[in-house]
Amino acid sequence: MNRRAIKTIELLAPAKNRESGEAAINHGADAVYIGASRFGAREAAGNGFADIELLCEYAHRYYAKVYLTLNTILYDNELEQAREMLVQAYNTGCDAVIVQDMALLEMDLPPIPLFASTQTDNYSPEKVKFLQDVGFERVILARELSLKQIAEIRKSTTVELEFFVHGSVCVSYSGRCYLSEALSGRSANRGCCAQLCRLPFDLYDDKGVKITGDKHLLSLKDLNMSEYLEDLIAAGVTSFKIEGRLKDIAYVKNITAYYRKCIDKILDKSDGYGKSSSGNVELFFEPDVERSFSRGFTTYFAKGRTQGLNAGTAKSMGKYCGTVVSVSKRSFVLDNTDLLANGDGVCFFDNSGKLLGTRANSVDGNTITPLSMDGIRVGTKIFRNSDRLFDKKLAGKSAVRKIHAEVSIEISEDVVYIKACDEDCVEVDISIPHSSEKAIDSDKMLKTIIEQFGKTGNDIFDFRINCQNCEYFFPISAINAWRRQLILALADERRARYKRKESTIVPSGIAYITDEVDFTANVSNSLAERFYRRHGVRKIEKAVESGTVPKSLMYNKYCIKFELGMCPVKQGAPKSGDLFLCHANKKLKLCFDCKKCEVEIRRIEN
């Protein structure tokens, strides 16, 4: 770890549960984020505080951090329970809490840092500066921001900036999506999004002519910003976040390991930055983001608006394997020979653009015999969405993380002196009396001591031993006892040295960026209302979840017209009116604000 580093770069991984969180730490995460039993934006990824405390203890061994997600909006009758959960988060060792509801800033809280969730719509320099000034230690930026916009935010602020670099992408600005609440009664801002944006839709123009049918027009590809990490650092981001608290442990292992390698390459050539936790990771597999769940990849708006954001499916496509060059009754031949194995799952788009899947029952070179040939034709592009051999590797022990420590051993006629100093400059000294006889073979004894101290097994340390000579004989059991004593002493000293950052919200009268807020501010309780009034907001519209009927159900930067080559401004297409999305009995109107280059999606009552 570069202790001369001016700044540290954090790799932040998702934790569905304690097991997943520990796996993320083992595979190189500097921090993990995890939900408690309630009030997290992923309702299906809740955990008890007993497990969260154990995860904190595990992470802190490596000076890694644990952040609790308490990032739903709250009702008045939930405020005290939310406050108590935040107190529990502090008492169990969490390093920060990610929040959306401003009511929490009106409470008497322990000195635990608060991070502004991406659900608070952190899109402009003015908004981020306000959140900084009212006491947030970190702001999680909107995914839609470009590198240029992030740099502009950095120029106006000093608060820590966190940015999503990998995983699923919401088609709407986070915190400003009411589609699920309005159409299914399940609120995204309450942690139970029905993901209606992943459904197939028919698209009509304003004259009722169908443009396309049964397509996943709002389902976007997954984010992959690995090629832009250096650019993000230059723009001011210091925490790289992986989405995926609902993903399985294999996904967490693979994606975390991949980004650890990417970040380490950057840090190895940088004098000004270092990683924010301890230890080095040894992997027993080669990470590959294409071998985990994905709908294809996009860098979204990093360098401005581009086409090709739509995934065409809600399901995982996985890794592209090749194109079918010939077919027979029971098998097909690919133009690639080394990507598939017996038992792999494969998928492909049929002639109508629908994603279909089957299993590779047998693979002989580039000839694949699947469970079903339905839909497979010459020219079909084949993807592997289930990788049996890769999954088998990840199911076992796939990484080990060790903290380097220099150990010196000096042996006098009656005392063994052992001193250790780890990569964080944590030092311990132990003295062990002995009354041993002279060794017959001192060189052999020296070799034995060095070998036994190297056997740290499942312990977190990697010892480099300096022992110049040993004139006395010691049984292996005694040497092992020394090693265990040293490990315990160094681990205890590291634990004692770990200090959480503390931060207290001090109420202020800093003016909010506007003096009116509509339902998109998501004010659903009296304390949140008090917060905004204290900051100069005169008119406050209640949240959709509190009964306000939304004017629009989604606010998007993603534009279907642009995606389909129909934009009159940027692509020179003929001018056209609003478009309409239909699924079953649901009809949505797309209203295009070309001046802002944004889209509102509104409900049309049948």
3-state secondary structure of 398: coil
Closest CA to 139 of 74, 49, 187, 71: 71
Our CA dihedral for 115, 153, 25, 259, rounded to 10 degrees, sits at 160
Round to whole Å and give the CA distance between 376 and 325. 11
One DSSP character per residue, 101-114 reads -GGGGGS---S--E
- What confidence category does residue 519 fall into, taking pLDDT thresholds of 50, 70 and 90? very high
Task: Give the span between the Cα atoms of 146 and 557, in whole angstroms.
Answer: 12
Contacts of 80 (CB under 8 A, 6+ apart): none
- pLDDT tens-place string over residues 282-306: 999 999 999 999 999 999 999 999 9
What stretch(es) of the chain map to CATH 2.40.10?
315-395
What one-letter code names the amino acid at 569?
Answer: V
Cα dihedral 348, 354, 359, 361 in deg (nearest 10) = -70
- pLDDT single digits (tens) 319-375: 999 999 999 999 999 998 778 999 999 999 998 889 999 999 999 999 999 999 999
Q: Which tokens is 414 given?
A: 């009656």
Sign of CA dihedral 12, 18, 20, 26: positive
Tokens 């993807």 locate to 383
* Predicted confidence (pLDDT) at residue 5 exceeds the cutoff of 80: no
- What is the 8-class DSSP label of residue 510? P
In DSSP terms, 322 is beta-bridged to 382
Query: Among positive and negative, which fits the CA dihedral 571, 232, 58, 100?
Result: negative
SS3 593: strand
pLDDT the model gives residue 458: 87
Spatial separation of the C-alpha atoms in residues 134 and 10, rounded to whole Å: 24
| pLDDT confidence of residue 507 | 83
Confidence of residue 2 (pLDDT cuts 50, 70, 90): very low
CATH 3.20.20.70 maps onto the chain at 7-169+222-277+285-291
Three-state DSSP at 253 gives helix
Largest CA distance in the chain: 99
End-to-end Cα distance, the chain: 61
Cβ-contact 381, 348 below 8 angstroms = yes
- 425 Ramachandran zone, left/alpha/beta (phi>0; psi -120 to 50): left
3 state SS for 114-147? EEECHHHCCCCHHHHHHHHHCCCCEEECCCCCCH
Give the list of residues 6+ apart from residue 492 with CB closer than 8 angstroms, or none: none
Q: Are 423 and 403 in contact (CB under 8 A)?
A: yes
Confidence of residue 515 (pLDDT cuts 50, 70, 90): very high
Residue 480 contacts residue 452 (beta carbons within 8 Å): yes
Mean pLDDT, the chain, rounded, equals: 94
pLDDT of residue 4: 47
What's the mean pLDDT in 186-215? 94
Model confidence at 41, pLDDT cuts 50, 70, 90, reads low
Beta strand pairing call for 273-275 and 31-35: unpaired
Q: What are phi and psi of 93, to 5 degrees?
A: 110, 5
Reported CATH class of domain 7-169+222-277+285-291: alpha beta
pLDDT tens string 79-131:
999 999 999 999 999 999 999 999 999 999 999 999 999 999 999 999 999 99
State how far the Cα of 72 lies from the Cα of 181, in Å rounded to an integer: 13
Please determine, for residue 606, whether its predicted confidence score (pLDDT) is greater than 80.
no
Is residue 455 scored above 70 in pLDDT? yes
Per-residue model confidence as pLDDT tens digits over 375-410: 999 999 999 999 999 999 999 999 999 999 999 999
Does residue 48 register a pLDDT over 90?
Answer: yes
- Whose CA is closest to 493, among 425, 399, 573? 425
Other C-beta atoms closer than 10 Å to the C-beta of 76 total: 13
> Residue 10's CB: how many other CB atoms inside 10 A?
21
pLDDT of residue 471: 92
Number of neighbours of residue 303 by Cβ within 10 angstroms: 12
* Tens-digit pLDDT profile for residues 585-602: 889 999 999 999 999 999
* Domain covering 315-395, topology: Thrombin, subunit H (2.40.10)
Please determine, for residue 1, whether its predicted confidence score (pLDDT) is greater than 60.
no
Q: Report yes or no on whether pTM surpasses 0.85.
A: yes
The residue type of 306 is: T
Q: Which two tokens stand for residue 72?
A: 């739903």
The upper half-sphere exposure of residue 30, i.e. CA atoms within 13 Å in the direction of its Cβ, equals: 20
